[in-house]
């Protein structure tokens, strides 16, 4: 890191942050064991966002690792819940209550086994679709009225293949380029969504 990089980082860290208006929660499981698993697609997207926007997701609060970023003038709390997938709602509810963020301004990013790796789909609201992370959020907030970005991770190789083994397994190397592209596209979509342009974000990524 050069002296200019150090000064740039100090400037970013000390610059006043916009008040938190949105929560962006990437879902996954904490720990090295799960780092590159299919279930951690949400973590991968917010890590990519942090890299693009030059901020860290390392502050421990709300049962999560968190960071703050301003997107299109909107202050966003970015979360990686440490609760494990099935209890993701515990972390998100704590952050919502602290910042008084309504459920409509909570954007959740999660994996979806019904799409090929690298495909994205944005929904403004909806059921959990069998996803335990979404199920926890809906149960603990009492609402399914939150937008979500679903990241395709591919279907099980056979119907009798154990679902937990599949989502906790790692991506094959050949799937990684598509996932990196998807993470970039998801970040572009997030910038639109916090700017109130969810329809434009949907047009950007849905079906591609």
pLDDT of 10-51, one tens digit each? 545 544 578 999 999 999 999 888 888 888 999 999 999 999
Interval 100-110: pLDDT, tens: 999 999 999 99
Let me know how long the chain is.
Answer: 208
Q: Does the global pTM surpass 0.95?
A: no
> What pLDDT is attached to residue 11?
47
Active site annotation includes 54: no
Interval 109-167: pLDDT, tens: 999 998 999 899 999 999 998 899 999 999 999 999 999 999 998 888 888 888 888 88
Interval 166-182: pLDDT, tens: 888 888 888 889 999 99
Mean pLDDT of 42-62: 95
pLDDT at residue 7 tops 80 = no
Q: Active-site residue among 39, 54, 131, 180?
A: 39
Dist CA 57 CA 80 (whole Å): 8
> Quick one: pLDDT band at residue 52, thresholds 50, 70, 90?
very high
Element (H, E) at 138: helix 132-141
Mean pLDDT of 50-55: 94
Evaluate whether 38 touches 151 at the Cβ level (below 8 Å). no
Domains of the chain, start order: 3-205 (3.40.50.1470)
Dist CA 142 CA 106 (whole Å): 13
Q: Which two tokens stand for residue 148?
A: 């979500």
pLDDT at residue 3 tops 80 = no
């Amino acid at each position: 890191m050069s002296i200019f990089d150090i000064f740039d980082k100090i400037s970013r860290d000390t610059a006043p942050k916009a008040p938190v208006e949105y929560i962006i929660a990437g879902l996954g499981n904490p720990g090295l064991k799960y780092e590159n698993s299919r279930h951690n697609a949400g973590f991968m997207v917010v890590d990519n966002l942090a890299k693009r926007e030059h901020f860290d997701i390392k502050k421990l609060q709300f049962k999560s690792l968190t960071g703050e970023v301003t997107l299109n003038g909107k202050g966003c709390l970015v979360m990686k819940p440490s609760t494990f997938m099935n209890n993701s709602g515990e972390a998100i509810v704590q952050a919502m209550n602290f910042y008084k963020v309504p459920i409509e301004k909570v954007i959740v990013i999660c994996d979806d086994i019904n799409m090929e790796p690298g495909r994205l789909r944005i929904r403004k609201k909806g059921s959990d679709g069998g996803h335990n992370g979404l199920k926890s959020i809906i149960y603990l907030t009492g609402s399914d009225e939150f937008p979500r970005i679903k990241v395709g991770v591919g279907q099980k190789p056979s119907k009798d293949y154990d679902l937990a083994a599949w989502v906790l397994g790692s991506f094959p190397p050949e799937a990684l380029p598509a996932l990196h592209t998807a993470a970039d596209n998801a970040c572009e979509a997030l910038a639109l969504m916090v700017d109130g342009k969810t329809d434009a974000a949907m047009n950007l990524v849905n079906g591609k």
